[in-house]
C-alpha cells in the first residue's frame, strides 16, 4: 500500500516537472486555448484540453501564455508616461547670397520736332563675404540725334577689397578703371589705383564708406580727323565717398563721388559723380534713374569739359 502511494506521488511530481500544469495560451488572432502543456519544443506546444483532447499550437501563432493563478503581465506594468511632443526645430535662416549678378537695359527714343535716341546697358558682378569683396562692372552708352551719332562711351572697372580689423570696417582696395569716349576725343584711358577705405555703416538701410587711394592715369587722345594724337600719363589721387539710403520700403537713393586730382600736373583734375534713384518692382526687377556727371578741367582737343547724362534703365538682379 505504501509502495503504491509513493509511486503515485512520484508520477504527479514528474508530470508537474514536465510542465503539464494548466495554462492559457493566447493566439495572435485573439483566440485562447486552456489546458495542460504536455509537450513543447522550439517549434510548437501540445496542450491537453478537456473538450478537444491534445491540441498542437505552432509558436509563430502564439502571442502569450499564462499559468493558472498567475497575475496577467498587463497588471504588473507601470502606467506609461504620456508622450512628450518635442518642439519642431526652428527653420534655419536663409544663407546670404555670396554672388550677385545684375543686368540693366534702357532705351529712349523721341520723334517729331526732335529725333533723338539713346541706349544704355550695364552688366555687374559682385562677390562679398565676411573677409573680402570683389566687383566687376561694364557700361555701354550710345546716342544719336537726327540719324547722326552724338554719343558713344564705354566704361568698366574691377575692384577687390580684403577687410581687416575686429569689426572688419577697414579694408585695402585695388581697382582698375578703363573708359573710352569717342566724342570727348578719348581713344582709351585707364587708371589703376589702390588705397585704404573705411565703412562707417554697412546696414541694409544705410550704407556709407570713404576711400583714399593713389594711382596713375594714362590717356590716349584722338584728334578730330581720327588720327592718333596726344597721350598723357600722370599720377593722381583717388578719394571717393559713397552713400546709400533707403527712403521707402522699396526705394533707395545713392551717391557715388570720386575725385581725381593730378599730382604731376598741378591744377588738373577730374570729377565723376553718379546719383541713382532705384525702386524695386519685385525681388528681381527694379526701375533705376541715374544721373552721371563727369567733369574734366583739361579735356582732349575739341572736347567739352562737362558731360552730363540722365539715364533710365530696367534692372534685373539674380
pLDDT of residue 16: 42
DSSP line for 69-133 = TPPPHHHHSPPPPPPPPPPPPPPPPPPPPSEEEEEEEEEEEE-SS--EEEEEEEEEEEEE-SSEE
The domain at 2-74 falls in which architecture?
Roll (2.30)
pLDDT of residue 25: 82
Provide the 10 A C-beta neighbour count for residue 185.
20
Nearest to 209 by CA among 177, 246, 168: 168
Q: How far apart are CA 315 and CA 122, in angstroms?
A: 9
pLDDT of residue 229: 63
Q: How far apart are CA 271 and CA 294, in angstroms?
A: 6
**Contact 19/46 with Cβ under 8 angstroms?**
no
pLDDT of residue 114: 67
pLDDT of residue 135: 96
In the chain, where the domains are located = 2-74, 99-317
**Contact 70/279 with Cβ under 8 angstroms?**
no
Q: How far apart are CA 73 and CA 66, in angstroms?
A: 9
* Phi/psi at 61 (5° precision): -100, 5
Residue keyed to cell 600722370: 234
Q: How far apart are CA 134 and CA 58, in angstroms?
A: 76
- In CATH terms, the fold of domain 99-317 is Lipocalin (2.40.128)
Helix (H, G, I), strand (E, B) or coil at 232: strand
| Tens digits of pLDDT across the chain (318 residues) | 444 444 444 444 444 444 445 788 888 888 888 888 888 888 888 888 888 888 888 888 888 887 765 544 443 444 555 666 677 777 777 676 789 999 999 988 877 666 789 999 999 999 998 899 999 999 999 999 888 888 899 999 999 999 999 889 999 999 999 999 988 889 999 999 999 999 999 998 999 999 999 999 999 988 765 555 688 899 999 999 999 999 999 999 999 999 999 999 888 999 999 999 999 999 999 999 999 999 999 886 677 899 999 999 999 999
**Contact 236/261 with Cβ under 8 angstroms?**
yes
pLDDT of residue 87: 77
pLDDT of residue 83: 60
The alpha carbons of the chain give a radius of gyration, in whole angstroms, of: 45
Amino acid at each position: 500500500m505504501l509502495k503504491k502511494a509513493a509511486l503515485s506521488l512520484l508520477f504527479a511530481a514528474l508530470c508537474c516537472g514536465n510542465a503539464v500544469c494548466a495554462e492559457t495560451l493566447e493566439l495572435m488572432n485573439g483566440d485562447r486555448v486552456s489546458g495542460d502543456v504536455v509537450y513543447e519544443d522550439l517549434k510548437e506546444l501540445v496542450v491537453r484540453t478537456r473538450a478537444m483532447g491534445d491540441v498542437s499550437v505552432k509558436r509563430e501563432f502564439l502571442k502569450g501564455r499564462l499559468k493558472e493563478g498567475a497575475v496577467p503581465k498587463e497588471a504588473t506594468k507601470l502606467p506609461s508616461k504620456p508622450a512628450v511632443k518635442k518642439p519642431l526645430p526652428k527653420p534655419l535662416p536663409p544663407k546670404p547670397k555670396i554672388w550677385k549678378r545684375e543686368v540693366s537695359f534702357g532705351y529712349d527714343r523721341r520723334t517729331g520736332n526732335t529725333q533723338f535716341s539713346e541706349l544704355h546697358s550695364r552688366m555687374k558682378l559682385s562677390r562679398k563675404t565676411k573677409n573680402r569683396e570683389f566687383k566687376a562692372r561694364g557700361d555701354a552708352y550710345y546716342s544719336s540725334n537726327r540719324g547722326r551719332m552724338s554719343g558713344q562711351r564705354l566704361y568698366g572697372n574691377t575692384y577687390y577689397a580684403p577687410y581687416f580689423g575686429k569689426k572688419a570696417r577697414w579694408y585695402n582696395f585695388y581697382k582698375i578703371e578703363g573708359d573710352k569716349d569717342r566724342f570727348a576725343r578719348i581713344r582709351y584711358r585707364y587708371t589703376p589705383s589702390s588705397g585704404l577705405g573705411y565703412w562707417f555703416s554697412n546696414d541694409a538701410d544705410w550704407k556709407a564708406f570713404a576711400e583714399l587711394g593713389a594711382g596713375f592715369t594714362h590717356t590716349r587722345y584722338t584728334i578730330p580727323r581720327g588720327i592718333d594724337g596726344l597721350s598723357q600719363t600722370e599720377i593722381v589721387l583717388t578719394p571717393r565717398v559713397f552713400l546709400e539710403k533707403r527712403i521707402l520700403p522699396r526705394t533707395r537713393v545713392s551717391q557715388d563721388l570720386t575725385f581725381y586730382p593730378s599730382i604731376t600736373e598741378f591744377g588738373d583734375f577730374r570729377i565723376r559723380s553718379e546719383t541713382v534713384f532705384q525702386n524695386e518692382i519685385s525681388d528681381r526687377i527694379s526701375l533705376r534713374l541715374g544721373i552721371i556727371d563727369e567733369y574734366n578741367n583739361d579735356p582732349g582737343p575739341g572736347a567739352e569739359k562737362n558731360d552730363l547724362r540722365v539715364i533710365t534703365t530696367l534692372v534685373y538682379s539674380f
